[in-house]
Structures are given as C-alpha cells and as structure tokens.
Structure 1
Amino acid sequence: MKTKMFALLALTGAMTAATATASETISVSGSTSVTEVMEVLAETYQKSNKNTFIEVQGTGSSAGVKAAKNGTSMLGMASRSLKDSEKEPALNETTIARDGIAIVVNGKNPVANLTKDQIAAIYRGEISNWSQVGGESKPVVVVTRDTASGTRGAFEDIMKLKRKVNGMSVSAISQRAQVANGNGVMKTIVANNPFAIGFISLGSVDASVKALSVDGVAPSVDTVKAGEYQVARPFLVLHKDANTSDEARKFLDWVVSAEGQQVVAENGYIAVN
C-alpha cells in the first residue's frame, strides 16, 4: 500500500513539474497608463494560451524603458515617445495604440474648455484662480504626475512646459503642484476636490471626473484619430531580442494583430491597425 502511495505521489510530482516547465511567464512592466490596457490584453491572450502567464506591473515609463534595456522585464511599456538619450539600436519600439491625454476637473467645476496656453499658464502657476478662466473665484489646485511618468513627459512636451536651467532642460511645472502616483490616484484627487485640475489617459476617463475641451475640441477617440484633439501620444512596447522569449514575441505579434487591436479599441484607446 505504501509503495503504491509513494508511486502515486512521485507520478503527481512529475506531472506537476512537467506542467510548470510547459508554462511560461512573460514579464511586462512600465507605464501605468499602458498597464490599464495591457492587463486586459494579457487576460484575453491567456484565455486561449493556457500555458502562458503574463505578469504586468505599472512602474512608470522611465522604469519601463530601463527594464527593457537591462532585461529585468522582457517587455517594457512607455506612454510617450522615447528621448534621444534612451534610444539604442538594439531596443525595438512597437506602437500598440495611441491615446489622448484628457485634462480633467471635478464634475462640479463650471469650466468646460481651456486653451493650451491657459493650461500651460495654470501648470506654471501664472493662473492661480479659476475666475481667470471663467470659473468661480476659487484657487486652482494643480495636480501633476511624478517625474518618471510618461504621461507627464508627453504632457510637458505638448504644453511646452520645459525651461532651460544651466543649459539643461527641466520641468516648468510649478513646484507647488500636488504629485499623484498613477492615473487612479490622479482621478481620486480630482474627484474629491472641486477646485483641482489634472491630466490622465483618455482611456481612463470615467464618470468620477469631467474631461475638458482643449481649444474648443472635446477629447475622444474620433477627435484624436482625426488629429483635431492634439493632446495625444503613443503607447509603446519596448524589447531587446536578446532578452525576449519566443512566447513573448508571439504575444506582442498578437497585440498588434486585428484581434489584439480590437481589444485596444474596445477599451477606449485608438487602434494602430
């Protein structure tokens, strides 16, 4: 009896080991904005690829670029174009979607439209009261993202929120601005403060906040596609061939396929194919 039991345990262990060997983990890390759609893509892919597990972590765009370069993740995510200093011949860039950056306020705020110049002035601290842009006579509570955020990097580039200090390009966003770590935190701050303003991925906009028109154009998939809403950026996935498994490449190919791009579109982002 004991002999049969040991044999059964040994067989079970062998089967478990074989299953563990057959399954593969694909590590993906980087932009918290890209993370939201990447998690849905991963979940959808895993349903028809049972032996593949895709681990997605939102660590910020700068961290995603580094992870792809040094191989700590097979795939890195960035929600902005790469800086010249980040580019390498061996680093492959794949655009998996485009996304608008929505300028959001509390739902009780009567302001519905701002110009790009007004938004930039708010973030530089030059406009500090809502009455200066047609709102109530209340102080503007400026909320930004951390410096590693790809959304912030793209926002600064689009709004020309950079300045030169000792020959170096640095952020022109007011140091008095509150800093939010991720789209979710940004939304929570704005949703709970009637005088706050922030910026989040268009695909993250929900009923908790109000997205403003910019220069008279409302943010939407259609206006971004048409080039009318110009506060937009790419969603990139980065990898080095030397650090990427065949299964990871297969997953990335699926993401840019018609099936993967349908998932992108269904989640409020702009498909690239």
Structure 2
Amino acid sequence: MFKSLIKTSRFKLLSSIVLALLSSCSNSAEQKNQDRKPLVLNGTSSTFGLQAYLRWFNQLAVNEDIYAEIESMGSGKSISTLLKGTNDFAGTDDPPSSEEVKKAPKGLLAFPVTAGAIAIAYNAPGCDLRLRRSQLAGIFLGKIDNFSQVGCNDLPITVLHRAGKSGSTESFTSALSSMDQDWKNGPGNGRLVNWPIGLAVKGSDGMATALNSTPGSIGYIESAYVREPLQVAALENRQGKFLRPTQEAASAAVSTIRLNERLVGKNPDPNLGYPIVTLNWMLVPARGLGNNTVALRRSLEFILSSQGQDDAERLGYVPLPDQVRELGLRQLSRLKR
C-alpha cells in the first residue's frame, strides 16, 4: 500500500511538471506570436500568376504575419512599376530584359516561382479541336476564319487577344514565331504586337469572360483560368504529337527550359510535351530593402518550398523542377538590406 502511494505521488508529480512545461511552451509561443509585428509588402502581379500569389500570401498572413497588397496588371506594367521604385516585388511571366535590369535603381533579382501552360481556349460546343502548327498561326493571321476549316461545324471564328503589354502575349507570339515563318516575318513576337485580326481584351480574367460570352471565339489564356464550358485545343508539338495542356504535358515542356546566370530563360518551341509554356518570376530589388529584407526572404522561402509549390499546383499551375527551386533558394543570400 505504501509503495503504491509513492508510485501514485511520483506519477502525479511528473504529470504536474509535464503540464507545467507544456503550458509554459504554449504561453511562450503565444507571446512570441503576439510580440511579432506584422510585415506588409506592396507588390504587383501579372494576371497569369495572380491566383498563385494570392494563395501564397494568404498562407503567409496566417502563418508568418506577412501581408501583401497586390495589384493585378500585365507583365510589362508590372515590371515598369517595380523599376520606378514604388513596390517591393513584381510578378511577371516575361523576364526583364538586360536593358530593364540596368534601369533598376536598386539592382534586380529574378526568382522563378511557378510555371504554367498557355492554353488555346475556344467556345465552340461539340468541336474537338486539334491544330497543326500552321493552322494555329493561320487562325491568328486571319487565314482561317471558320471552324469548318479545321474539322468542326460551320461557325465563324472570332479571334481574341490580350490588350496592353502582356507576358502571355510574349510567350504565345514567341511560340507562333517558332512554328510559322509567315508569323515570324509578320507580327513577330513581343509583349505587344500589331495583331492582324481580333478583338483586344484586358487580363486573363477578361479573356476568360470574353471567351465564355462570345460563341465562336478563340484566344490564348493561362490554363489555370480555363473553366467549363470552355474547351482547350490539342496542339501539335515539335515531335508531331497533339497534346492538351495537362499537368504531365506542361511539366515535360517546363523541364526543357534552361536558365542563365540571372535565373531567366525560355523555350518557345520545346521538343517535349505541350508546346507553349512559361515560367513566372517574382522580381525584387537586390539591395536597399531595409526592414523588408526579412519579409521578402521568408516569403520566397515559403513560395519555393514543397508546400508553396503544392499550393500553386492545386490551382492549376505547374510546379518548378527541384533544381530550379534550389537555384532560387541559393539566390536568397544575395538580398541585401
């Protein structure tokens, strides 16, 4: 009986100590969260990557007390806004040129953060569209103006393209220039080109809305924005295979992109997978970050983590290859106060 009481007393004592330690740890963690001041960043994002940035910074607000006010715009305007020195970061799916980097008052670092496919979406119920390379260019050159010319029912085609300087336009027109000589010698490629035909719409959301509301329309849009009843065309790649922008096909193409020392690069005509893909970059000043240094570093650490990449994939984006993530994480050491 006496030994039993001793054991019981010891157990109660140990339990009290454990509970006290757990309570102390909990109070310490709560106090730490209360003491941590919220960090606020101001940024811009191309419409291509906007959904991913909103998801990432929602998670960062909950877990890290890092908040971001993000304005949506085309890639060209997103880059130019950062170059004026008024924002902390810029999201773009067209990397800055060497000339733009030279204009950056505090230097410029480009971090690949996600990737995606540019889908050819259309509003033609009952049409299973499979486009050869010359046919895709022919539609946007105005040579093909009816769905009956590409194996579907009689329905006039209404071409839609992006207004303003757009990274999606640069990716799409670069692909067309690689696929078709007439396009290369005509409109060419860039964030803004002289379209031979079509109606201009603003942003990826605007493109999705216009496609849904315009029977017979066809346009290019980041695949994460495509929702039923819209359909996407199967495109002929360099190997002669017809592929739609599935995760598997887009990932295969993204794996062919090679980056330079600034961590930027493209492949407008990959030999694997779906033929029109691009990375998305988060651009940040290289120096003079002051109190925002910690917030930017923590944000990029999360975005480039497995969890951050998984969050973007759930929205329809393509995760970065592991070696690209590692290059981005190593570059964090170059961020200076």
TM-score, with normalisation over the residues of structure 2?
A: 0.69
Q: 1:85 to 1:135 in 2, by over 3 A?
A: farther
Partner AA of 2:211 in structure 1? V
2:276 equivalent in structure 1: 231
Distance in 1, Cα, partners of 2:191 & 2:134: 20
CA deviation map 1:99-133 (0-9, x unaligned): 00010011515142112321111111121122211
Q: 1:169 to 1:63 in 2, by over 3 A?
A: closer
Distance in 2, Cα, partners of 1:170 & 1:236: 19
CA deviation map 1:226-273 (0-9, x unaligned): 221011011111111235422122212211122211212222111113
2:198 equivalent in structure 1: 177
Contact 1:30–1:62 under 8 Å retained in 2? no
Contact 1:145–1:179 under 8 Å retained in 2? yes
2:111 equivalent among 81, 90, 94: 94
Distance in 1, Cα, partners of 2:192 & 2:67: 39
Contact 2:165–2:191 under 8 Å retained in 1? no
Distance in 2, Cα, partners of 1:269 & 1:117: 27
Distance in 2, Cα, partners of 1:120 & 1:87: 32
Contact 1:98–1:232 under 8 Å retained in 2? yes
Q: 1:243 to 1:78 in 2, by over 3 A?
A: farther
2:54 equivalent in structure 1: 39
1:6 equivalent in structure 2: none
Contact 1:130–1:138 under 8 Å retained in 2? yes
Q: 1:208 to 1:79 in 2, by over 3 A?
A: farther
2:125 equivalent in structure 1: 108
Q: 1:133 to 1:172 in 2, by over 3 A?
A: farther
Pair 1:241 & 2:256 matched? no
Unaligned runs of 5+ in 2: 1-33, 178-182, 237-241, 254-272, 323-337
User: Tell me, what secondary structure is at the counterpart of 1:200?
Assistant: strand
Pair 1:201 & 2:222 matched? yes
Distance in 2, Cα, partners of 1:169 & 1:97: 19
Unaligned runs of 5+ in 1: 1-18
Q: 1:107 to 1:127 in 2, by over 3 A?
A: closer
> Alignment identity in percent?
20
1:24 equivalent among 39, 52, 72: 39
TM-score, with normalisation over the residues of structure 1?
A: 0.84
Shift of 1:135: 2.0
**Coordinate RMSD, CA, aligned:** 2.4
Distance in 2, Cα, partners of 1:26 & 1:203: 25
Shift of 1:139: 1.8
Partner AA of 1:230 in structure 2? P
Distance in 2, Cα, partners of 1:151 & 1:237: 16
1:191 equivalent in structure 2: 212
Pair 1:127 & 2:144 matched? yes
Pair 1:67 & 2:93 matched? no
User: Tell me, what secondary structure is at the counterpart of 2:40?
Assistant: strand
Bigger Cα displacement from structure 2, 76-85 vs 36-45? 76-85
Pair 1:149 & 2:166 matched? yes
User: Tell me, what secondary structure is at the counterpart of 1:33?
Assistant: coil
Contact 1:30–1:65 under 8 Å retained in 2? no
Contact 2:115–2:318 under 8 Å retained in 1? yes
2:307 equivalent among 251, 259, 267: 259
2:155 equivalent in structure 1: 138
Q: 1:134 to 1:172 in 2, by over 3 A?
A: farther
> Greater RCO between the two (CA within 8 Å, min separation 6)?
1
Distance in 1, Cα, partners of 2:191 & 2:74: 20
Contact 1:107–1:208 under 8 Å retained in 2? no
CA deviation map 1:170-215 (0-9, x unaligned): 72532x4111111111111111222000111111122131111111
Larger radius of gyration: 2
Shift of 1:40: 0.7
Hey, which of these two has a bigger chunk of strand by percent?
1
Distance in 2, Cα, partners of 1:68 & 1:169: 17
